[in-house]
């Protein structure tokens, strides 16, 4: 253990690059600026359709309209980002939460009148649109964005209904807000009253599950179970309401399955996702079931309790990392790619673009927020000094570097579908683990290997189990409200299937679905983690085969943002994700790590 380790060494970010405070006069100025841009854009309403017979004129109008749309999105995006970023570190501050909600409502009021743009674009025939893009070079730049707009054409509603849906957005967003506030206020009571008693936040409780001492893990898990059980009725209501609202919109738009809208946004076939999920589920016995049986044996147990799942395998306390040590490891790992990857990553440290310090009121989890292409991203995490925190830092900085590389595309084209969004983050995490393992003393290598396997299981197996839980819940919600008890049952069934017979799901674990924020904030997001991990496994094999040739191709992939589909983006590497064998590479790679672990055990 590092003697001078302090979680408080982690930095706080400075959001003044966006606005000085909630009272900054620039906020009002930018709201006015956005209204002006939207008014200018709206003056073009009807002119695109009117010019459909004149390819040159239509091309010029398309370019002008989309540029204005992007410019207004940049201004409003910065406002929305500031409100969200500042609120995410102060979920216990009513002023910050109220400000976020107020800004969201103002943004919606300004942006909603632009719903006509995509509807009018989709009223133009394919041949007319193609002629316009061919006639105007500037307009042709927007092909990738238009590809995504056209994909939504079969599911668009009338202007009135699209306006209604947009205007009610801030109201429906109050459900995720309630979810966040519930978890931010959660405190797990650990230990008996008096000396030694603790009150842990959600982030602190989850971190305690990696403690070297079994009693501390158990106490944290049981305290968290009690805290989640107390809030589960409210969180079940939130989940049911979000799902019902989604189902209603899906029905109007003509989506057949609850996940179809997410698949469309990701530009991926639902059948491909189903095939991936089925392939991972089929591999449960060879991956998670086998590994947890080996881990139980290594820990001298016949069966693991669920709070042992991420426990350190060694009896000695695991190594802790100072913030500076974490920074050095991550930047060295980025340097292994060559090019300017490490330089871009170091910018996040040199400038106050990272909020890593865990504290009361700060929401749990981690993310990298791109803000807008004409600004810079921010990275958010809760640093506790564990090995997993080093990997989380690498993961989020992978997102951040990806966002800076894609920024030259502009906000609309830099936006990356989830099928590619997790690529840079998981790749960076893998590079960092390789460095941790290569530089670790031999006595630590088994523990590190166990940690890497567990990270892989959490990213692939666990996220697919989440996806299967979510799919079953939404399917049942179509028939009516799903009682909390039934949600608990589905959760235990799917998690039990994924973890296998060597992990006991102890009483209280049935409520643990309730802290997974993606279920509320981004329904059907979770499969992207498994998708990204398996995709990265294939990329890492490509890098192993040709390290020198890999880096420029990889940089080009990231810099392309969302300009290409994931199939097009992977083609230069000779990879075809439509081939079922593509997905087996990642599972086999993880299986080889389990083989290594078995040899060490």
pLDDT value at position 387?
87
Residue with tokens 């990879």: 575
Instruction: Give the model confidence (pLDDT) of 288-321 as tens digits.
Output: 999 999 999 999 999 999 999 999 887 676 788 9
Collapsed DSSP state (helix, strand, coil) of residue 3: coil
Q: pLDDT band for position 578 (50/70/90)? A: confident
Lowest-pLDDT range, 21-35, 468-482, 540-554?
Answer: 540-554
User: Which pLDDT tens digit goes with each residue over 80-93?
Assistant: 999 999 999 999 99
User: Where does 198-316+454-521 sit in CATH, by number?
Assistant: 1.10.1370.20
Q: What is the largest CA-CA distance in the chain?
A: 80
Residue 2 has pLDDT above 60, yes or no: no
CATH code 1.20.140.70 region(s) in the chain = 15-172
Kindly tell me if the per-residue pLDDT of 195 is higher than 70: no
Q: In the prediction, which pLDDT does 155 show?
A: 96
CATH for the stretch 15-172: 1.20.140.70
The predicted-structure confidence for 107-164, as pLDDT tens digits, reads as follows 999 999 999 999 999 999 999 999 999 999 999 999 999 999 999 999 999 999 999 9
pLDDT for res 194 = 60
Identify the weakest region by mean pLDDT among 281-285, 471-475, 499-503, 581-585: 581-585
Count the helix, strand and coil residues of the chain and give each as a percent rounded to the nearest 5: 70, 5, 25
Average pLDDT over residues 170-198: 88
Region 569-580: what's the mean pLDDT?
84
Q: What is the mean pLDDT of the chain?
A: 93
pLDDT at residue 267, as a whole number: 86
Residue 253 has pLDDT above 60, yes or no: yes
Average pLDDT on 526-537 reads 89
Taking residues 353-370, report their average pLDDT: 94
Residue 48: Cβ-neighbour burial (10 angstroms; 0-12, 13-18, 19+): buried
Which pLDDT belongs to residue 3? 38
Q: Which helix (H) or strand (E) holds 198?
A: strand 198-200
Question: Running DSSP on this structure, what letter comes out for residue 168?
Answer: T
- pLDDT of 439 over the 80 cut: yes
pTM, two decimals, is 0.80
- The model's confidence at residue 240, banded by pLDDT at 50, 70 and 90, is very high
The number of C-alpha atoms within 13 Å of 343 and in the hemisphere containing its C-beta is 4
pLDDT at residue 238, rounded to an integer: 98
Asked whether the predicted pLDDT for residue 1 surpasses 90, the reply is no
DSSP tag of 572:
G
Q: What is the pLDDT of residue 280?
A: 92
Identify the weakest region by mean pLDDT among 37-51, 108-122, 431-445.
431-445
In this prediction, residues 516-528 reach a mean pLDDT of 94
- Residue in 206, 284, 301, 314 with CA at minimum distance from that of residue 597: 314
Return the percentage of the chain with pLDDT > 90, whole number.
Answer: 76
Least confident of 239-253, 356-370, 440-454: 440-454
pLDDT of residue 225: 97
CA of residue 436 relative to chain centroid, distance:
24
- For residue 270, the model assigns a pLDDT of 86
| DSSP β-ladder status, 378-383 and 354-357 | parallel
Using pLDDT thresholds of 50, 70 and 90, give the confidence band for residue 566.
confident
The mean per-residue pLDDT over the stretch 39-57 comes to 97
- Measured on CA atoms in the order 244, 249, 251, 255, is the torsion positive or negative? negative
Provide the percentage of residues in the chain whose pLDDT is more than 70. Answer: 98
Please say whether the beta carbons of 306 and 504 come within 8 A: yes
Contact, 294 vs 303, CB < 8 A? Answer: no
Mean pLDDT computed over 408-437 = 90
Q: Which of 117, 107, 232, 113 is nearest to 173 (CA)?
A: 107
User: Where does the pLDDT of residue 6 fall: very low under 50, low under 70, confident under 90, or very high at 90 and above?
Assistant: low
Q: List Cβ neighbours of 69 (8 Å cut-off, separation of 6 or more).
A: 41, 114, 117, 412
Query: Is a pLDDT exceeding 50 seen at residue 54?
Result: yes
pLDDT at residue 432 tops 90: yes
pLDDT at 404: 97
């Amino acid at each position: 253990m590092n003697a001078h380790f302090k979680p408080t060494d982690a930095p706080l970010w400075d959001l003044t690059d966006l606005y000085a405070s909630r009272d900054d006069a620039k906020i009002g100025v930018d709201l006015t600026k956005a209204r002006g841009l939207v008014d200018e854009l709206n003056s073009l309403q009807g002119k695109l359709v009117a010019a459909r017979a004149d390819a040159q004129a239509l091309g010029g109008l398309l370019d002008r309209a989309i540029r204005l749309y992007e410019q207004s999105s940049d201004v409003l995006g910065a406002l929305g980002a500031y409100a969200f970023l500042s609120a995410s570190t102060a979920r216990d501050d009513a002023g910050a939460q109220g400000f976020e909600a107020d800004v969201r409502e103002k943004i919606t009021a300004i942006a909603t009148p632009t719903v006509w743009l995509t509807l009018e674009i989709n009223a133009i025939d394919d041949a007319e649109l193609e002629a316009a893009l061919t006639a105007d070079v500037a307009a042709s730049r927007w092909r990738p964005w238009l590809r995504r707009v056209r994909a939504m054409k079969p599911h668009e509603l009338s202007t009135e209904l699209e306006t209604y849906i947009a205007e009610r957005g801030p109201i429906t967003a109050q459900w995720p807000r309630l979810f966040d506030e519930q978890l931010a206020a959660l405190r797990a009571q650990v230990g008996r009253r008096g000396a030694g008693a603790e009150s842990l936040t959600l982030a602190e409780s989850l971190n305690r599950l990696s403690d070297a001492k079994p009693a501390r893990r158990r106490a944290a898990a049981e305290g968290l179970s009690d805290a989640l059980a107390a809030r589960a009725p409210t969180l079940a209501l939130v989940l049911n309401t979000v799902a019902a609202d989604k189902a209603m919109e899906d029905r109007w738009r003509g989506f057949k399955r609850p996940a179809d809208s997410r698949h469309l946004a990701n530009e991926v076939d639902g059948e491909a996702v189903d095939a991936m999920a089925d392939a991972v589920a089929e591999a449960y016995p060879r991956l998670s079931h086998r590994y947890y049986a080996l881990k139980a044996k290594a820990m001298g147990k016949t069966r693991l309790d669920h709070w042992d799942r991420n426990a350190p395998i060694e009896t000695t306390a695991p190594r802790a990392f100072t913030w500076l040590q974490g920074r050095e490891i991550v930047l060295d790992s980025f340097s292994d790619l060559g090019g300017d990857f490490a330089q871009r990553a170091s910018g996040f440290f040199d400038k106050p673009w990272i909020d890593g310090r865990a504290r009361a009121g700060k929401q749990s989890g981690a993310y990298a927020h791109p803000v807008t292409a004409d600004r810079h991203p921010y990275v958010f995490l809760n640093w506790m000094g564990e090995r997993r925190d080093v990997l989380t830092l690498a993961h989020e900085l992978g997102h951040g570097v990806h966002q800076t590389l894609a920024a030259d595309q502009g906000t609309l084209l830099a936006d990356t579908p989830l099928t590619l969004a997790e690529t840079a983050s998981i790749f960076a995490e893998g590079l960092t683990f390789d460095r941790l393992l290569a530089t670790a003393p031999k006595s630590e290598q088994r523990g590190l290997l166990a940690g890497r396997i567990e990270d892989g299981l959490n990213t692939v197996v666990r996220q697919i189990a989440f996806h299967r839980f979510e799919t079953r819940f939404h399917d049942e919600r179509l028939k009516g409200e799903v009682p909390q008890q039934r949600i608990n049952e589905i959760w235990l069934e799917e998690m039990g299937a994924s973890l296998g017979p060597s992990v006991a799901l102890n009483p209280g674990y049935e409520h643990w679905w309730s802290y997974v924020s993606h279920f509320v904030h981004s329904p059907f997001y979770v499969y992207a983690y498994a998708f990204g991990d398996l995709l990265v496994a294939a990329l890492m094999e490509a890098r192993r085969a040709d390290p020198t040739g890999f880096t420029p191709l990889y940089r080009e992939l990231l810099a392309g943002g969302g300009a290409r589909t994931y199939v097009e983006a992977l083609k230069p590497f000779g990879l075809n994700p439509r081939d079922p064998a593509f997905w087996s590479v990642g599972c086999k790679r993880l299986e080889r790590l389990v083989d290594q672990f078995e040899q060490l055990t």
